[in-house]
Structure 1
Amino acid sequence: MFASNLDTSLVYLKGVGPKRAELLQKELGISTYEQLLNHYPFRYIDRTRFYKINELNPDMPLVQVIGRITSKETIGEKHKKRVVAKFTDDTGTMDLVWFQSLKWVEDHVMRSSLYIAFGKPTLFNNGFSISHPDLETYPRQTGITGNLTLQPIYNTSEKMKKGFLDSKCIQKLIHHIIELHINEVRENLPAYILEKYKLISRKEALIHIHFPANTSTLQHAERRLKFEELFFIQLQLLYNKQLRSLKFKGALFNTVGEKVNTFYNTMLPFDLTNAQKRVIKEIRLDTQKGIQMNRLIQGDVGSGKTVVALMSMLLANDNGYQACMMAPTEILARQHYQSLVDLLKGELISVAILTGNSTKKQRTILHQQLEAGEIDILVGTHALIEDKVQFKNLGLVVIDEQHRFGVEQRAKLWRKNVVPPHILVMTATPIPRTLAMTLYGDLDVSVIDELPVGRKPIETKHLFEGQRMRMFGFMKQEIAKGRQVYIVYPLIRESEKLDLLHLEAGVEQMRYQFPLPDYQISIVHGQMPNADKQYEMQRFIDGKSQIMVATTVIEVGVNVPNASVMIIENAERFGLSQLHQLRGRVGRGAEQSFCILMTGNKLGPNSKLRLETMVKTNNGFEISEIDLQLRGPGDITGTQQSGVLELKMANLVKDQIILQEARNTVIELFEKDTMLELPENILLKNYINKRTRAIAFDKIS
């Protein structure tokens, strides 16, 4: 096996040593030559343009000027000392100023020498100056770091800068590695893929990403490294999917029996949409293959995912298996439980609930019934994954909003049966196509893209603070019709830093506008005890209060068909996805529903775009695409999914075509060479064997 110097610790790299090596490890997680070589610049500065001093203006970000040091003096005493040099070209004179490293400046910056000064120009006392300029002798030295038409800029930290590990130092260290060890870089993509997509070699890409000769070579390097990054993500995801299908057998649900038929024919309160029928059919086919199903259901708020999940769980029951449904919060778990009980009218099967608040006595009875097979469907929170919770024969697991659960939490449910149960994941957060391919690339995806018959699109309006009385008047009209209203605030109490209409002040305003006993107001926020929260929510659900004033705790988990108005205060402070989720709390009945977005008058461009999008469309998938462009994938998925999205080069918004190419390449690859046995795929097989903890393909029986 080839032993590469690229695996060498950075301690041994010229210019590093133990202290700097420790800093690089702590701040960037980099400890070897190869890892530093894969620390790419995050931007480049164009060093092709030179300015004259009389062309400078203070709005310029960074400039470079050729001139001579005509004088140099040290000014001030002790901590206030600085070196000021007069820098002159044929159009004028400016100051170069240093506040640190003064001895080095005094010893090395020479009068009468010709320099290139590079930095941010600042206007002071009618003259320009650059503080702590980069200085190079003119003409520039030749060599790989000399012809810097595009200067790489690297991410560093304050601690690194204090240890003299700034961007320029990183650049020099990487130059050392390229100079001495670039020929040890090995290709990791097969030749036929490089040829098909006209990709440069990995060695060339690494040289040009750090030291591009021009924009063309930089573009070739970026395309190669982006493709590689997205390709290996897809290879791992689709490998895992294939591995599961080869390794994990699944329960056979061959029978559509009495439970499914009775529910469908006599209990279902409405006709299924074509989208719901299509997804149920996909689940039905999955569970007849004898391999474990892993399917994601994407459906907008109110699209009917719960009914699809229930019919899938009844299918499991018809075939002698139990099912469970896991939700991220107690509120949502109770909502699901109540929905199932209502749909089943308390008949046909046994449904139970388990949460963190279940008493010891309740748990003891439930554990016994579950192990005896007397409970057909168990709904709950993460309490379901506790070791004490044992099923007699678990055949299907439904996970709602799976991004809120960690991988290990989900895996514990899979181990609750000898034959791994089928997995059905649901999300009410529409996921952009590129994100779904990356986050859930190992799952089969179903989309419920229709709303149930009779549902009317929610009308959304944007009102400014000056139109508040109009909003109150509209609220009174709707409440007079017997409807209910949500009012959502981003904060509980007043913040000195954020000038927002906060919940407590909002409640006072409500009570002034809607005096008791004419109207009842429920108040719900995240800092309340669970029991109080449940009590207030139940009052609203039962129609005992007409207005619910809340924070975003009601984003999921409250289903009140009689609520027809959602008012979101300081709507500009919310993300698009959150605004869409909040809006989805209304529009659940047959009556026309409304969403009112209240904001101040001063709005930034992104806030305006979010609000315009909300007013223009109810389509969650359109909204999710715009949200991805505004926020980026990391913010949308949160920390639970961040591992798969730690992309160094690729951007899921800008690089959709490359992502699709990478995924299609992997799909074609596995169609032709399931076990990666062909000689041309040996690099990929080595990658899989090295990176995955699962069994290598050649060991699968």
Structure 2
Amino acid sequence: MNSSLVPYLDLPVAKVVRPPDPTSDAEKQRAGLIAQTIKALPAMGIDTVRDLVYYFPRNYLDSATLTSFLELTQSDEDVTLIARVLTLTQRRTYNGDKILTNVEIGDAQGGRLSATFFAKSQAGARYLERMLRPGTQAIFSGKIREYRGREQLSNPDYELLDVGTDYGQESIARAGDLLAVYRGRGKASSRGIRTVLREVLTELPDVDEFDPIDPAIRAERKLLGLTDALRAIHRPASAADYASARGRFRYEEALVLQTELARRRAAARSHAGRARPGRGDGILAEFDSRLPFALTGSQVAVGETLAEEIASDTPMLRLLQGDVGAGKTVVALRAMLQVVDAGGQAALLAPTEVLAAQHARSITEMLGDLGEGGTLSAAPNATKVTLLTGSLGAAARKQALLDAASGMAGIVVGTHALLSDIVQFADLGLVVVDEQHRFGVEQRDVLRGRAKVMPHTLVMTATPIPRTVAMTVFGDLEVSTLTDTPARLHARSTHVVPEANERWFARVWERLGDEVRRGHRGFVVCSRISDEAQEDEATADVEPDESGGAEGPPRHLHTTLETAAMLSEQPALAGARIGVLHGRMAPEAKDAAMAAFASGEIDVLVSTTVIEVGVNVPEATIMVVLDADRFGISQLHQLRGRVGRGADAGICLLVSPADPLSVAGQRLSALAESDDGFELANIDLRLRREGDVLGAGQSGYSSSLKLLRVIDDADLIARARDDADRIVAVDPSLAGHRMLAGAIAEMLAGREEFIERT
């Protein structure tokens, strides 16, 4: 291995690229551009040659297929235009979340077109204002769309051209017909980055021996070597060139991530656990004999898998997913009872006190006298179910801690309070984590560390996860899926209500009143607690639509307190008992509100998304979601899963001002048309930005994926996972794969949160 190559890749860009001595006006301009760009690169996290060559183009402009303004005749057409900025105006979008920049562009023949850009911050808006001053000439590339009867370019890529010199046109010619476009920042423009990269690539030696992808795998997968791929992705001679390069780097990203996850799976399997075999005469057998319903086929199949793994001395580490109402709780409870039969304990960790209390109530109700261990009314083989949360009084908390430490409680349900140092278990055999995305692996391991030997672990999620996401977000877990759901007596319907239609909006409250008069109950969900709240309690898992934001003042959002007051004055709800529930209430107040709603003392519960998962009130038949476009598909699907859980049909009314043709409108339409969580999850992936796919909590590596797209690259990720498993099976320490190990270390540097969240 030629170690002299390593310093070149790791040298500061400023040491490798120096501005040339100017001999002409064009060279003076070029020298200034290089100097300015090199100075600005560190602010973008680009310090070394390696950093720079892995800063890939965001797009390519094809100067060979320039479009004439006269040819702009249809929507959804991809165009590339050379034009001059005529005017620039800025204003807030309707919902106030973004700043809309509208640029009028035109050509010498009088052609005109509007181009719109959306900035999330004042700094982003000022950058656009500085770059696209009237008189500026640029290449604009994007898709033509119709908005309010006018054709426009929405968020196009653009490349500034110098006025008065031929440098801009020369820069296109040097790259052939394809012009690489980079995401600039500050004084590092796309053109500057491309110019500096050209100098780096000219001096780049052969670096194939530093490729993280093993030569044998490169040959098997027909991938470009590192050197050729770097040159092809930055300076492609054809579309085929950059397609090959991008495919190779997508695979590299997938392999690096999947190898780290494979190592973690192997490490988990290496721990010694304790087998917890089932028995035919214990509490599980008695529980099964009392079930008032038949398990579904997938519940039986998944249950058998869990039982087999729990009976092994290799610690189970498995994800259980299923659609709303698929019956995950009973599957998890049967696994917990198997552990109790074997003399161990199970702990169920829930993200909120509302959900923890709901789980404790549900489990206790399902077990009946089998859950009354330690009392005179307990059945033979009975165990005790204990709830441990931060809001317990001193006496109740002391008893719960004693139940866990003594082994009296076979099942302990709790929130983050379970992670406290003072919580001890007699023999913890199974950890069940509900809604894993709200916890980190480090929190999961705190609880697992309370056991004398490594316990089995079952992670549950109520949000259906497409295969490609499961391989990335939950890549260190084996996945089990409940593919069918117990039959409901009635279908659940969903309807979108345009808020601007006053008659329809009024009918929403009439419909809610109808359900209350029939003896049913209803939810009204808001995204905010009050106008004073600075942040939504409900973090919508998609951003507001960028293409349909109307111009105008910031949008007023409905709040729980305002809505509860308004409903109390609605003639259609005269006599209805209205309650409020949100995350800033004291724990005892939240429990009281939920208990009152469950018992029928409250008819209508106005709530934030604290009722999103796990809340089970069979008498609830209607849900109204205000500002529904503020929520993502999966969140809305979970919310509506709270109604229609009993003997009566459920209905969900999604109230929104969103344009039906906007992305937000499409999300709501998809919900109205489908009640299949897995189908909706795939639609969600298609409508959302890549950075949002893994959720705001999955920041770090996920949000900095350069080319890999978990939306589109399922097959590629699967191939990388297979290759990673083969590598780790033979070389778990990666001693023979030093470049791959180095790439993993670089990925983890500053990005531990992503892997830890999995």
Q: TM-score range by the shorter chain?
A: 0.7 to 0.9
Pairing partner for 1:457 from 476, 480, 491: 491
Asked if 2 retains the 8 angstrom alpha-carbon contact of 1:572 and 1:603, the reply is no
CA-based RMSD: 3.6
Q: Which moved more, 1:203-212 or 1:268-277?
A: 268-277
Distance 2:416 2:261 in 1: 25
Pairing partner for 1:45 from 61, 75, 94: 61
TM superposition shift of 1:288: 2.5
TM superposition shift of 1:479: 2.0
Distance 1:635 1:218 in 2: 26
Alignment of 1:582-661 (within 5 A): 582-600=639-657, 602-645=659-702, 646-661=704-719
2:312 paired with 1:278: no
2:223 paired with 1:199: yes
Pairing partner for 1:261 from 263, 273, 285: 285
Q: For residue 250 of structure 1, what is the aligned residue in structure 2?
A: 273
Alignment of 1:331-342 (within 5 A): 331-342=354-365
Asked if 2 retains the 8 angstrom alpha-carbon contact of 1:140 and 1:146, the reply is no
Distance 2:45 2:489 in 1: 52
Q: For residue 364 of structure 1, what is the aligned residue in structure 2?
A: 398
Asked if 1 retains the 8 angstrom alpha-carbon contact of 2:37 and 2:193, the reply is no
2:180 paired with 1:149: no
Q: For residue 77 of structure 1, what is the aligned residue in structure 2?
A: none
Distance 1:10 1:683 in 2: 22
TM superposition shift of 1:118: 4.1
Distance 1:364 1:136 in 2: 80
Distance 2:252 2:722 in 1: 13
Structure 2 unaligned regions, length at least 5: 20-33, 85-106, 113-126, 128-135, 142-157, 373-381, 533-552, 750-758
2:15 paired with 1:12: yes
Asked if 2 retains the 8 angstrom alpha-carbon contact of 1:145 and 1:175, the reply is no
The structure-2 alpha-carbon separation of the partners of 1:286 and 1:18, relative to structure 1 and needing over 3 Å to count, comes to farther
Q: For residue 82 of structure 1, what is the aligned residue in structure 2?
A: none
TM superposition shift of 1:515: 7.4
1:402 alignment partner AA = Q
TM superposition shift of 1:452: 2.0
Question: Which has the larger Rg?
Answer: 1
Q: For residue 35 of structure 1, what is the aligned residue in structure 2?
A: 51
Other structure's SS at 1:590 match: coil
TM superposition shift of 1:11: 4.6
TM superposition shift of 1:42: 1.1
TM superposition shift of 1:92: 10
Other structure's SS at 2:56 match: coil
Distance 2:247 2:139 in 1: 30
Other structure's SS at 2:469 match: helix
Other structure's SS at 1:523 match: strand
Alignment of 1:96-495 (within 5 A): 118-119=138-139, 133-134=161-162, 138=166, 146-157=174-185, 160-161=186-187, 165-184=188-207, 186-245=210-269, 247-256=270-279, 257-266=281-290, 268-345=291-368, 346-347=371-372, 348-464=382-498, 465=501, 466-493=503-530
TM superposition shift of 1:580: 0.4
TM superposition shift of 1:634: 3.1
> In percent, how many aligned pairs have the same letter?
33
TM superposition shift of 1:542: 1.1
The structure-2 alpha-carbon separation of the partners of 1:6 and 1:544, relative to structure 1 and needing over 3 Å to count, comes to same
1:586 alignment partner AA = V
The structure-2 alpha-carbon separation of the partners of 1:278 and 1:643, relative to structure 1 and needing over 3 Å to count, comes to farther
Partner deviation per Cα, 1:395-422 (whole Å, 9 max, x = no partner): 1100001111123212212211232111
Q: Which moved more, 1:381-390 or 1:43-52?
A: 43-52
TM superposition shift of 1:132: 6.7
Partner deviation per Cα, 1:106-143 (whole Å, 9 max, x = no partner): xxxxxxxxxx964469xxxxxxxx99733595599989
Other structure's SS at 1:358 match: coil
Q: TM-score, normalised by structure 2?
A: 0.76
Other structure's SS at 2:206 match: helix
Alignment of 1:502-513 (within 5 A): 502-513=559-570
Distance 2:69 2:612 in 1: 57
Q: Which moved more, 1:516-525 or 1:623-632?
A: 516-525
TM superposition shift of 1:385: 1.3
Other structure's SS at 2:204 match: helix
TM superposition shift of 1:290: 1.5
The structure-2 alpha-carbon separation of the partners of 1:478 and 1:53, relative to structure 1 and needing over 3 Å to count, comes to closer
Equivalent residues, number? 633
Partner deviation per Cα, 1:60-97 (whole Å, 9 max, x = no partner): 9864489xxxxxxxxxxxxxxxxxxxxx99x8999xxx
Q: Which moved more, 1:315-324 or 1:628-637?
A: 628-637
Other structure's SS at 1:565 match: strand
Q: For residue 521 of structure 1, what is the aligned residue in structure 2?
A: 578
Asked if 2 retains the 8 angstrom alpha-carbon contact of 1:44 and 1:150, the reply is yes
Partner deviation per Cα, 1:41-66 (whole Å, 9 max, x = no partner): 11122233567899999x99864489
Distance 2:67 2:292 in 1: 74
The structure-2 alpha-carbon separation of the partners of 1:133 and 1:627, relative to structure 1 and needing over 3 Å to count, comes to same
Distance 1:475 1:138 in 2: 68
Q: Which moved more, 1:517-526 or 1:332-341?
A: 517-526
- Structure number with higher relative contact order (C-alpha < 8 Å, ≥ 6 residues apart): 2
Partner deviation per Cα, 1:557-612 (whole Å, 9 max, x = no partner): 42111101112223233211111011011121122111122233743432332222
Distance 1:639 1:489 in 2: 20
Asked if 1 retains the 8 angstrom alpha-carbon contact of 2:430 and 2:455, the reply is yes
Distance 1:131 1:310 in 2: 59
Asked if 2 retains the 8 angstrom alpha-carbon contact of 1:273 and 1:451, the reply is yes
TM superposition shift of 1:686: 7.0
Asked if 1 retains the 8 angstrom alpha-carbon contact of 2:66 and 2:81, the reply is yes
Q: TM-score, normalised by structure 1?
A: 0.81
1:24 alignment partner AA = L
The structure-2 alpha-carbon separation of the partners of 1:22 and 1:379, relative to structure 1 and needing over 3 Å to count, comes to farther
Q: For residue 577 of structure 1, what is the aligned residue in structure 2?
A: 634
Asked if 1 retains the 8 angstrom alpha-carbon contact of 2:621 and 2:644, the reply is yes
Other structure's SS at 1:221 match: helix
Distance 2:530 2:700 in 1: 35
Other structure's SS at 1:512 match: coil
Partner deviation per Cα, 1:120-167 (whole Å, 9 max, x = no partner): 69xxxxxxxx9973359559998998234222222232xx32xxx222
Q: For residue 23 of structure 2, what is the aligned residue in structure 1?
A: none
The structure-2 alpha-carbon separation of the partners of 1:43 and 1:668, relative to structure 1 and needing over 3 Å to count, comes to same
Q: Which moved more, 1:497-506 or 1:353-362?
A: 497-506
Structure 1 unaligned regions, length at least 5: 67-87, 95-99, 101-115, 122-129, 694-701
